[in-house]
Amino acid sequence: MAVAPKAYQQARDLILESAHTLLLTGAGVSTRSGIPDFRSPGTGIWQFADPLEIASVWGVREDPQRFYRWLRPLAEKMRNALPNPAHTGFARLQQMGLLHTVVTQNIDDLHEQAGTHSVLHVHGSAQDGLCMGCGLHLEAQHFWPLLYLTETVPVCPHCGDIVKPDVVLFGEELPAHLLAQAQQAALTCDLVIVAGASLEVMPTADLPLLAKRAGARILTLNLTATLLDDQSDLLIHEDVTRSVPRLVEMCLQRR
């Protein structure tokens, strides 16, 4: 069913009238760039692998070779992916001063490739590496060659322990400082835009509710229903690669 033009007009007005807007993006923004998500029935990565066995702290420790055999095809998709119209649309909104905090659950760097800056990667970034022993952080230019130029498990140049992608694995907590920044933004924003996120993963999924309890409105841009649709002030159920560029154009026309 086509989205009524009035819904887009209302969404545009919410964006233009907001003094501080928080954007929360999920896998649905990156799937259109060819990066598979984790939970979609029939296509999600976890349909074909047990996350607790492979993508967990203990899974990496127990069998790091298996973890990297699983990871490399996914990492290759990330390395080859390009920003789609949703990514570029959000970057444009930020450049227009209409997005003030950008939080993503995605572990790719497509927001940055599109031109968005100061993105809070609350689930980490697959481009960087982290030593599981001494905690040494490896920037992408140092980690990705270890990932692609050898079939062996990347090891820390400092202590020799296993290097994993700097992402939150099962059994790990979200980076406290990034989560705190996202929560503070939720408490002080006027509008939360939820884009491409099913809102199934806590504590990130609680950010829109945190904002709503503080008086903010919620605009949900998602092709399918989310767990917080009944809490949203406005829903646009359409592919974000269509809805976001349309909203950008409408905001440009009104400024």
Catalytically active residues are 123
Query: What residue has token string 């050898």?
Result: 150
| Phi and psi angles of residue 183, each rounded to the nearest 5 degrees, phi first | -65, -40
Burial class (CB in 10 A: 0-12, 13-18, 19+), 53: middle
Q: Work out the number of other CB atoms within 10 angstroms of the CB of residue 63.
A: 15
Secondary structure of 166-227 as H, E, C letters:
EECCECCCCCHHHHHHHHHHHHHCCEEEEECCCCCCCCHHHHHHHHHHCCCEEEEECCCCCC
Contact present, 44 and 36 (Cβ < 8 Å): yes
* CA contacts within 13 A on the Cβ side of 102: 21
DSSP-derived letter for residue 41 is T
Contact present, 101 and 120 (Cβ < 8 Å): yes
Give dist(CA 25, CA 31) in Å, integer.
12
